[in-house]
Amino acid sequence: MAKKKEEAKALLYKGRQLVKRGNVIIYGDACDKYYLRMTILKTKMVEDVEVATYIYIELISSADDKTVKKAERQDMYEALDIGGFWLEEALGAN
């Protein structure tokens, strides 16, 4: 008998999807008018876990793939805080 493929559960943060590939994290849906792209520039090891210590954040317009806003933050919490605010503001304004 054929086995059913087990669907991977998406990681959500504040109801929006978070997808990581390599050192790039996409927050939101790329099919929406805007989404957030976070690039991890520096990391450090804390015990056995690699932790992001410097993140470049971009609010991207899906229509033309252009950067609307950009910033740099020292940790993931700060990056998601400002990036999430930008994304909610951009999607709520429509």
Express each pLDDT in 50-91 by its tens digit.
Answer: 899 999 999 999 988 899 999 999 988 999 999 999 999 999
Burial of 44 (C-beta count, 10 Å sphere; 0-12/13-18/19+): exposed
Burial of 27 (C-beta count, 10 Å sphere; 0-12/13-18/19+): buried
**Residue 26 main-chain phi, psi, to 5 deg:** -105, 125
SS3 assignment, position 77? helix
If you ran DSSP here, which 8-state letter would residue 75 be given?
Answer: S
Tokens of 50: 């690699």
Q: Which residue has the higher pLDDT, 73 or 13?
A: 73
User: What mean pLDDT is predicted for residues 9-26?
Assistant: 88
Model pTM score: 0.81
Confidence of residue 2 (pLDDT cuts 50, 70, 90): low
